[in-house]
Amino acid sequence: MQGKEAALKRLDEVTKKREPLYPHAMNRWNDNWDVITPIFKFSMDVRTAFYTTNSIESLNSCFRRLNKQRSVFPSSQALMKALYLSTFEIIKKWTMPIRNWGRVYGELQIMYEGRLPE
């Protein structure tokens, strides 16, 4: 059992366990199931690339760290300049390739023909 069926089975298991403690949270999962499930049209390699590639979260984390170090900026423009300049240092750390990138990129090129560079 893979994909949608396995996810639905796991959701049922989690719902049974957690619904008494978190009824509203579990209802949100069930109410939005049709919005969540389109991810299953992708292969496991692509899904893994999606949920393990957190560049935005990493960037936000670095920005928060910068803000903690300098709690006061003379103006909003000074803050924007500091964030802009720190971005150049942050992206130097992004050196790890995405696992199975060739297969992931190939699948995305097929699914979204003409939208990705060759």
Contact status, residue 73 vs residue 79, Cβ threshold 8 Å: yes
pLDDT value at residue 51: 76
Domain residue spans of the chain: 1-41
pLDDT value at residue 16: 92
DSSP result, 44-94: HHHHHHHHH--HHHHHHHHHHHHHHH----SSHHHHHHHHHHHHHHHHTT-
Give the integer Cα–Cα distance in Å for 52 and 98.
9
Give the pTM.
Answer: 0.55
Q: Give the confidence band of 99 by pLDDT, cuts at 50, 70, 90.
A: confident
pLDDT in tens, 1-47: 467 888 889 999 999 999 999 989 888 988 998 998 888 888 888 88
